[in-house]
Amino acid sequence: MTRRYSVVLGLAALVVAVDQWSKFFIRRTVDLYESIVVVPSFFQITHTRNSGGAFSLFAGADDAVRVPFFLAVSLVAIVALLYFVRSVEPRRWSLLVALGGILGGAVGNLIDRMLSGQVTDFLDVHWHDYHWPVFNVADSCITVGVLVLLAHSFLTKDPV
């Protein structure tokens, strides 16, 4: 296995472990829809379940359509990410880290969908009454990874 796959798969495994442990911990210690204030008017732990995608996309869709759709999209994304790793130069560690985070996040949420058809979310960021949708560790890693990829594509002239 090449160095680039070692970095991506190692980080992805770490993300999956932290993501699944944090979701397990929340499901065991915080009642569904319970909120625990961490920083008043800014951050709380709120145990929710999301049957849809990002921002609850397709959450109201029938299970017979929604679950296979998200499983298929996740699997296609995982294969595409692994294929893309081949084209990244080993010296581009920031891209490899970004891909590892995205891959780990995709796998973490895929595990939830396979086990229960929904994803456990619990990180609740808000400014007084203005709330960002509740998210989890996997979502965070996907978001940061995508932002790194976008920054690289806009800020450098070098190919991957």
- The C-alpha atoms of residue 55 and residue 115 are separated, in whole angstroms, by 20
- The C-alpha atoms of residue 23 and residue 119 are separated, in whole angstroms, by 9
Q: Nearest 5°: phi and psi at 133?
A: -60, 140
Catalytic residue among 19, 112, 121, 124: 121
Catalytic residue among 19, 112, 124, 139: 139
Catalytic residue flag (residue 121): yes
Give Cα 114 to chain centroid, integer Å. 15
Write out the catalytic residue numbers. 121, 139
